[in-house]
A and B are shown apart, each in its own frame.
Chain A
Amino acid sequence: MNLDMISDILSSMIRIATPIILMALGGLLCQRAGVFNIAMEGFSLIGAFFGVAFVQISGGNVYIGFLGAMVFGLLFSAIFALFVTRFKANHIIASIAMNMLGLGLTSYLLRALFDVQGRLAPDTINKLPLITIPVIKDIPILSSLSGQSIITYITIILVVLVYIMLFKTKTGLSICAVGESENAATTAGIKPNKVRWLVILISGVLCGLAGAYLSTVIVSQFSENMVAGRGFTAFTAFAFGNAHPIWSSLVGLLFGIAEAIGIRIELAGIALSPSIIKMFPYALAIIALTISSYTNKLKVSGVIGMKRKGR
C-alpha cells in the first residue's frame, strides 16, 4: 500500500461521496423541519434523467444538463411538498409514491421521448472540467482533493452554507423550531408549511444536482434505476450524523470510502465475489443507522443527554 494508492482511494472516495453528501444536505434540512423525506432516491433519479436528457437535447452542453436537472428536481419535489403540506399525506407513503413515480416516469420518458429502452447515452457530451488546485496537487494524500469536478467544490461550499443557514440565521432557527415543536413555532409566528415547502424544494434542487452528477460526471449515460439506493444511504448518513451538516458529510465520506475500497478489491482480483463486496456500503449503512438509533434511544430514555425530537 503506497501513497499513490491511498490518494487514489481517497480521490475516488470524494468522487463517490459527493452525490451522497448533496442528497444528505437536502435530507437533513427536511429532517430538521420534521419532514420524513425518503424520496431523495426518486428526486435524484429525476435529476439523473433530465441531466442526460438536456445534455442530449442541447447537443452536449453539460451546464444546461445541470440546470435542467435542478429545475426538474425542484418541480418533482414540489409535488411531494404539495402532498405533504397541503394534503397532509403520510410522509413515508408519499415518499414511496415519489420513488415509484420517479422510476416509472424516467423509464416511460426514456421510451416516449428518446425511443430507447434501459439506457440513454448522449451522442456528444462535454464533460465538466476537472479542477486542479495548484499547491495541493503536489502534497501527497491531500492531492486527492485536487482534480475533482467543480460540483465537488460546490458541494463543499454548500456544506458550509447549510451549516451557516441552519445555525446562524433566522431561517435556520425557523426550520429547527418547526421540527422541534410545530405548535410553539406557530405561536412564534412561523408558518410551518411555508418552512416545509422551503426545505423540500431545497432538497429537490440538491437531489437534482446529485442525480445529474451521477449521470453526467461519474458515468456519461442514464440507466434505469441508476441511483441504486444512494438516496437511502444518504438518509442513513444524516441519521448517523445527527442531521448536522458537517457530521453528516463526514459519514457520507465514510460510505464513499467503503465503496472506493470495494472497487479497489474488485480490481485487485481478490477471490471475493463482486456482489459480496458491493454489500459493504449497505451493511455499513445498517450498522451506522443501528448505532445512531441506539444512542438516540438512550437519549430519549434519559440515559445520556437531552431528548432531541427527530420528527
Chain B
Amino acid sequence: MMNKTKNVVNNICKQIGLIIIALVIATIFLALSGYDPIAVIRGLMESISGDIGGTIRWATPLILAGLAICVTYKAEVFNLGVDGQLIMGACAGTAVALVIPATLPAGIAAPLVIIVSMAAGALYALIPAVLKVYTGTNEVVSTLLFNFIATLFLEFLVTGPLTDKTSGVALNASAIVPKNTWLPRISYLAPSTANIGFYIGLILVVVMGFIFYKTTLGHEIKIVGANRTLAKYAGMNPNRSVFQVMIISGAIAGMIGAIEVFAIQHRLLAGFNPGFGFDGIVVSLLANNNPFGVLFSGLFFGALINGGINMERATDVPSAVTDIVMAIIIIIVAANFAIPRVRGYFRLYRKADNPDTGVKGGKTE
C-alpha cells in the first residue's frame, strides 16, 4: 500500500515536471517573439483565478474527450476521430431536438437528445472499428479522414436542411433548439456557461475508473492492449474489445457534442468544435491514460485554454500560445525523456533508504 502511494506521488511529480518544462519552453518562446513573459504569466494567472466558471466550462469537454481517448488507448487503439464523432453526435441530437414536440417535459426531452447524440457518436465510431477488424484498415488514418467528412456534413446541415429559416441572414447555424432540451447551467457559477455536463464528467470519471480497475470488461481491454496474442490464447476476443472501446469512446464523444449544443450554444453552429478530440489526446496522455488523472489534467487544460482566451481579449497575446504549450507537452510526454531522470533520482533515493521498495520501484511502468 505504501508502495502504491509512492508510485502515485512519483507519477504526479513526473507529470508536474513535464508541465513545468513545457511552460518554460513556451515562456522562452514568448520572450523570443517580443512579449513580456512575466506579464503574460501574471495575466494568465489572473484570468484563471478570476474566472472559475470559464475553467469549468472548458474543462468539461476536455475531461470527457480525455476519457474517450483513454478508453481506446488502454486497448492500444488510436481513436483520432473523437472530433468527427462529437460532431455527428451534435448533428443527430439537434436534428431530433428540432422535431420532437416542444410540449414534451424536459425530464424526457433532455435525456432523449443526449442518448440520441451518444448513439450517433458510437455508430460513427463503429465504422472505423468495423473497417479495422474486418479489413485491417489502420484506424489512425481512417478516423482522421472521417473527421473531415463529419465536418463537411455539419457544414451541409447548417447551410441546408437544418439551417435557421426564421432569421433573414445566413448564419451557418441551425434554429435555436426548444427550451425543453436545454441542459441546466450551474447556477452559482453564473454568468459563465459552466453546466451540468461537468457533473456528468465527474460521474463518468468514477464509472470509467470502476470499469477499468474492477470489472472483467476493463481487465480484458487492458490485456488486449498489452498483448493481443496472449489475450487470444487466454480465450478473450480482441476484436470484440476493439468494438467495445470504440463504441464507449464514440458514445462519450457524442455526449460532448450534446453538451456543447444543448448546454452552451443552444443551436448547431458550423464551427462549434475547436478541436476537443485532439485536445483530449493531450489530456489523456498527460494523465498517463488514468481516468482519475484525466479529471485533473482536464481541469488544468481547461484553466489554460480559458486563461488564454481571456488574455487574448485583454492583451494582444494570441491564444494560440495554449496550442503550442499543449503540443510541447504531448511531445515531451511521448518522448519520455524527462522521466527517466526523475525516476532514476527517486529510485536512488529510495534504494538508499530501503532496498526493498527500491527494487519494487522498478515496476513503476
Contacts of B335 in A (CB 8 A): 83, 87-89, 94
Also in contact, A236 and B136, with CB within 8 A (given A89-B331, A107-B318): no
Q: Is the CB of A92 within 8 A of B336?
A: no
Distance in angstroms between the alpha carbons of A14 and B338 in the assembled complex? 46
Scan A79-108; emit 1 where CB is below 8 A from any B CB, else 0: 100010001111011101110110111011
Contacts of B78 in A (CB 8 A): 92
Interface size band for A: 35 or more
Q: Is the CB of B330 within 8 A of A107?
A: no
Contacts of A273 in B (CB 8 A): 156, 159-160
Stretch from A2-10, A133-141, A159-167, A277-285 forming part of the interface with B: A277-285
Number of residue pairs across A and B with beta carbons under 8 Å?
143
Stretch from A44-52, A62-70, A194-202, A289-297 forming part of the interface with B: A289-297
Contacts of B145 in A (CB 8 A): 229, 232-233, 236, 282, 285-286, 289
A275 interfacial contact with B, CB 8 Å: yes
Q: Is the CB of B152 within 8 A of A275?
A: yes
Stretch from B178-186, B259-267, B320-328, B356-364 forming part of the interface with A: B320-328
* Minimal beta-carbon separation of A31 from chain B (angstroms): 12
* Minimal beta-carbon separation of A238 from chain B (angstroms): 11
B281 interfacial contact with A, CB 8 Å: yes
Q: Is the CB of B142 within 8 A of A97?
A: no
Distance in angstroms between the alpha carbons of A280 and B335 in the assembled complex? 37
Distance in angstroms between the alpha carbons of A110 and B320 in the assembled complex? 10
Q: Is the CB of B152 within 8 A of A293?
A: no
A72 interfacial contact with B, CB 8 Å: no
Contacts of B155 in A (CB 8 A): 275
Distance in angstroms between the alpha carbons of A79 and B327 in the assembled complex? 12
Residue total for B at the interface (Cβ-Cβ under 8 A): 45
Distance in angstroms between the alpha carbons of A296 and B155 in the assembled complex? 35
Scan A105-117; emit 1 where CB is below 8 A from any B CB, else 0: 1011111110001
A145 interfacial contact with B, CB 8 Å: no
Q: Is the CB of B337 within 8 A of A96?
A: no
Also in contact, A112 and B34, with CB within 8 A (given A38-B140, A104-B324, A105-B324): yes
- CB within 8 Å of A: which B130-157 residues: 131, 135-138, 140-142, 144-146, 148-149, 152-153, 155-156
| Most chain B beta-carbon neighbours within 10 Å: one of A79, A103, A229, A293 | A293
> Ordered nearest first, which 10 A-B pairs have the shortest CB separation?
A104-B323, A87-B335, A101-B327, A297-B136, A111-B318, A275-B156, A97-B331, A107-B320, A89-B334, A108-B320
